[in-house]
Amino acid sequence: MSFSVQRWTRSDLPSAIELRKVLESEGYNVFEWTDSPRTRYESHKHDDDQSHWIISGALQLTVDDKTYTLEAGDRDFLPAHTTHSAFVPGNTPVHYLIAAKRG
The model's pTM is 0.95
Determine whether 64 is exposed, middle or buried from the number of CB atoms within 10 Å of its CB (0-12, 13-18, 19+). Answer: exposed
8 A C-beta contact, residue 52 and residue 97: yes
pLDDT tens-place string over residues 24-59: 999 999 999 999 999 999 999 999 999 999 999 999
Question: H helices within the chain, ranges in order?
Answer: 16-25
pLDDT tens-place string over residues 80-94: 999 999 999 999 999
Q: Could you tell me where the beta strands, DSSP code E, fall in 4-89? A: 4-6, 28-35, 40-44, 50-56, 58-63, 66-71, 75-77, 84-87
Nearest-angstrom CA–CA distance, 31 and 100: 9
- Euclidean distance between the first and final Cα of the chain, in Å? 17
For the structural domain made of 4-101, what CATH number should be given? 2.60.120.10
Confidence of residue 102 (pLDDT cuts 50, 70, 90): confident
Q: How do the domains of the chain map onto residue ranges? A: 4-101
pLDDT at 103 over 80: no
